[in-house]
Amino acid sequence: MNQRASQAELLGASQARVAQVIDPVDWEHFCAEYWDRKPLYLADGSDRFASLADAATLRRLVESGTPWLYRRLPEMYIDSGFVPHEDLVHEYVDMDGRVARAPRLDRVRQLLLNGATANCFGQEAHFPELMALKLAFAQAFSAEVETSLFYSQKDHPGLAPHYDCGEIFVLQISGRKRWFVSDQRHVNPIVGYGGPVAYDDKAPHATIELEPGDLLYLPRGTFHHACALTEESLHTSVAIKMPSYLDLLQALAGNAADLDAMRDYLPLGGPAAWADARVELVERLRGATALPAYGAAVQRLLGRRIPAR
């Protein structure tokens, strides 16, 4: 089998896995009607996500401090308030003179006893089916994907109303959780850009109760918050981090210094003449995108985002 055929097969298998998650909505219909457009709620009520992870194991992991060993620190919330990382992590200098960190397990355990929410990243290391799900989403959407596990407790809200900067698929694994999904949506948010956007609590919102096996898809920028209705609730949040036009522009900028046309002077005449150079700029950008180096930069953008198999 040639490489292109096997890639197509891989993509087909990945899209089929995503299609199972969004069933009965099919892939094409989802992409045309919902993707980056509007939320999707699918009631299922089965144990179809039960093999992804389980609440008891995740709680044990949190109590033992394991999630603090991963690249992205876990987040804990208590009644809509974020617990600062420095309250939960002790930094020290090890025998080799390196700064190391260790979770303050007494605080973590007390927070859990008080009803805290824990949002843990990188836990697919402990849950093979969660890893398989992550890979399928990454392949299907050609995008970087982050899966986090949200452990939350009855009547204790986790995060305050907020939006995310990626497309979010919420897969309810166990327990029940009530979601508030606002009509308020911030346009095309990107991590690290722009100022804070205030939540409008007067905006219309949908109230959705997720049960095991249910799916909720939220386009980026959609304000939401949630609260567990059962003693424990566990869901995985699959976040799709699509490349944007800004990424393309940055890929182009990365090559620009190698291009004679881009190192060329702007015309004499100061800011007015430089502003008039916009037509010329667009022409030169067009020329730059036609060069093989641009194609290679775009490929690197893709490679950075999808884990190797």
Distance of CA 11 to the CA centre of its chain: 20
Q: Are 206 and 39 in contact (CB under 8 A)?
A: yes
Nearer to Fe ion, 206 or 281 (CB): 206
- Ranked by CB distance to Fe ion, the top (closest) residue is 164
Nearer to Fe ion, 227 or 297 (CB): 227
Return the amino acid letter for 48. R
Task: Find the shortest distance in angstroms from Cβ 201 to Fe ion.
Answer: 16
Task: Find the shortest distance in angstroms from Cβ 7 to Fe ion.
Answer: 32
Nearer to Fe ion, 164 or 167 (CB): 164
Distance of CA 2 to the CA centre of its chain: 33
Task: Find the shortest distance in angstroms from Cβ 168 to Fe ion.
Answer: 6
Distance CA 123, CA 136 (A): 16
Task: Find the shortest distance in angstroms from Cβ 102 to Fe ion.
Answer: 28
Task: Find the shortest distance in angstroms from Cβ 242 to Fe ion.
Answer: 17
If one asks whether residue 75 binds Fe ion (CB under 5 A), the answer comes out as no
Nearer to Fe ion, 242 or 293 (CB): 242
Task: Find the shortest distance in angstroms from Cβ 21 to Fe ion.
Answer: 18
Nearer to Fe ion, 167 or 252 (CB): 167
Distance CA 20, CA 17 (A): 5
Task: Find the shortest distance in angstroms from Cβ 13 to Fe ion.
Answer: 28
Positions 148 through 177 that interact with Fe ion (CB under 5 A): 164
Nearer to Fe ion, 148 or 153 (CB): 148
What φ, ψ does residue 293 adopt, rounded to 5°? -60, -35
Number of shown-chain residues binding Fe ion (CB under 5 A): 1
Nearer to Fe ion, 164 or 214 (CB): 164
Q: Are 287 and 260 in contact (CB under 8 A)?
A: no
Binding site for Fe ion (CB under 5 A): 164
